[in-house]
Amino acid sequence: MRFRHADAVRAAYPELSAGALYAAGVGAPADTGPAAAVYSARAVARLAGAAEGEFPEVLGWRRAFSRMGVKPTQVRSASESLLRRLRKEGGLPRIHPLVDLCNAVSVAYAVPVAVLDVDRISGPLLEVRPARGDETYTRFGGGDECPAPGEVTFVDSAGRAHARRWTHRQSGHSAVGAGTGRVLVVTEAMHDGGADTVAEVLKTLKEEVAAHWTATTTTALLTPEAPEFVFGA
């Protein structure tokens, strides 16, 4: 399977930095709570000095959302929403060991980290591209809808959208659950220095997956010169 950002997305958002991780063998039970607590604590310490809306990482995504025609204070990136929840409630929801870990890493680095069940994606291509308006997105609570034309989303070869408004919300169709064994993790940044942040996130996730599961992993930094990640062969 292949993952990439469409040329149109890279042209419209030249500041984009992105990376991906593929892991196979993450279906076994694992206690990621202690590790997640460490990363969440790092975010809490940073939030003590400034609200998430002042973070360069968050502001980068707000600018990108504005360019996409979305009001960024009404529709937030996933990382901003998690940081906001952490600041207001003092903790993050417990969903699944891997998702909990990725959410904690997301708030620690203040960038979105998406986790998708590979076996729920129709290959051979998953592409981040502007929607045509005929793609199918499944809500977490059930029911389908279509992303608006021009809205950036993750689209597979069957025309299924695996996100709304890019990094705002993932799809219930490819959400990680008890039966998940293979995942694609995608992290993206829009701020100055984003490439370094993405590299650190990938390094952190690779180490944590190895520490908690007997899994095989591959990672890639995605650039205009090397925009595609081939995985799961």
pLDDT 10s digit of each residue in the chain, 233 long? 999 999 999 999 999 999 999 999 999 999 999 999 999 999 999 999 999 999 999 999 999 999 999 999 899 999 999 999 999 999 999 999 999 999 999 999 999 999 999 999 999 999 999 999 999 999 998 899 999 999 999 999 999 999 999 999 999 999 999 999 999 999 999 999 999 999 999 999 999 999 999 999 999 999 999 999 999 96
- Tokens standing for 45? 């310490």
* Structural domain boundaries enclosing 149: 2-230
Q: Could you tell me whether strands 125-130 and 2-5 are parallel, antiparallel, or unpaired per DSSP bridges?
A: parallel
pTM: 0.98
Q: What is the distance between the alpha carbons of residues 142 and 10, in angstroms, rounded to a whole number?
A: 32
Q: Is 97 left (phi over 0), alpha (psi -120 to 50) or beta?
A: alpha
CATH number of the domain encompassing residue 194: 3.50.40.10
User: How many residues can be counted in the chain?
Assistant: 233
Q: What is the distance between the alpha carbons of residues 73 and 155, in angstroms, rounded to a whole number?
A: 25
Question: Into how many domains does the chain fold?
Answer: 1
Q: What is the distance between the alpha carbons of residues 136 and 218, in angstroms, rounded to a whole number?
A: 29
Q: What is the distance between the alpha carbons of residues 106 and 36, in angstroms, rounded to a whole number?
A: 10
